Amino acid sequence: MSDLPTRESYRWFMPITTRWMDNDIYGHVNNVHYYSYFDTVANTYLIQEAGLDIHGGDIIGYIVNSQCDYKKAIAFPEKIEGGFRVNRLGNSSVEYGIAIFKEGESDCCAFGTFTHVFVDRENERPVPIPEQMRAALESMLID
């Protein structure tokens, strides 16, 4: 039995396109790109499903913490997917759980967390997560 998070541990998925430039000298996706994938997955969910207006909205999300565990290499041109869930939901912050999967595989290649604190765009002070966004995030909350 695997100790890696599996697809069943995540609630929402999106395809990610690996790029030639993602590979490093060793022929696999360099670690720094996984954080870009995490950022893309979380923000795509927020924009498409939770109503985040990145250009004109009153609030923005600041990343205050992130971490990643790497388990299996991926390389361009593999087809991969990002799995998304919410681990914790606070008043103005949310911790996401995100994993990267090769298309069609159950075990992840990498997994980690990513924490946003939502702040007022003008004064950069924490603000409560708006109701529409909170409802969308609650639907991704793991038990």
Question: What are the tens digits of pLDDT across the range 30-42?
Answer: 999 999 999 999 9
98-102 long-range CB contacts below 8 Å, 24 or more apart? 98/37, 98/38, 98/41, 98/42, 99/5, 99/9, 99/10, 100/16, 100/34, 100/37, 100/74, 101/7, 101/13, 102/72, 102/74, 102/78
The amino acid sitting at 30 is N
State residue 20 phi and psi, 5-degree precision. -50, -40
C-beta of residue 128 within 8 angstroms of C-beta of residue 92? yes
Tell me the CATH number at 68: 3.10.129.10
- Residue 122 falls within a domain, yes or no? yes
| 83 belongs to a structural domain | yes
Q: What is the pLDDT of residues 59-117, one digit of tens each?
A: 999 999 999 999 999 999 999 999 999 999 999 999 999 999 999 999 999 999 999 99
Domain that residue 44 falls in: 7-138
Q: Provide the whole-model pTM.
A: 0.93
1 falls within a domain: no
Q: For the chain, what is the radius of gyration of the CA atoms?
A: 16
CA distance 122 to 129: 16
Which residues, 6 or more positions from 99, have their beta carbon under 8 angstroms from its beta carbon?
5, 9, 10, 82, 83, 108, 109, 110, 111, 112
Asked if pLDDT for residue 24 goes beyond 80, the answer is yes
Residue 2 lies in a domain: no
* 39 within a domain of the structure (yes/no): yes
Q: How many domains does the chain have?
A: 1
For residue 94, being part of any structural domain is answered with yes
Q: Would 108 be classed as within a structural domain?
A: yes
59 within some domain: yes
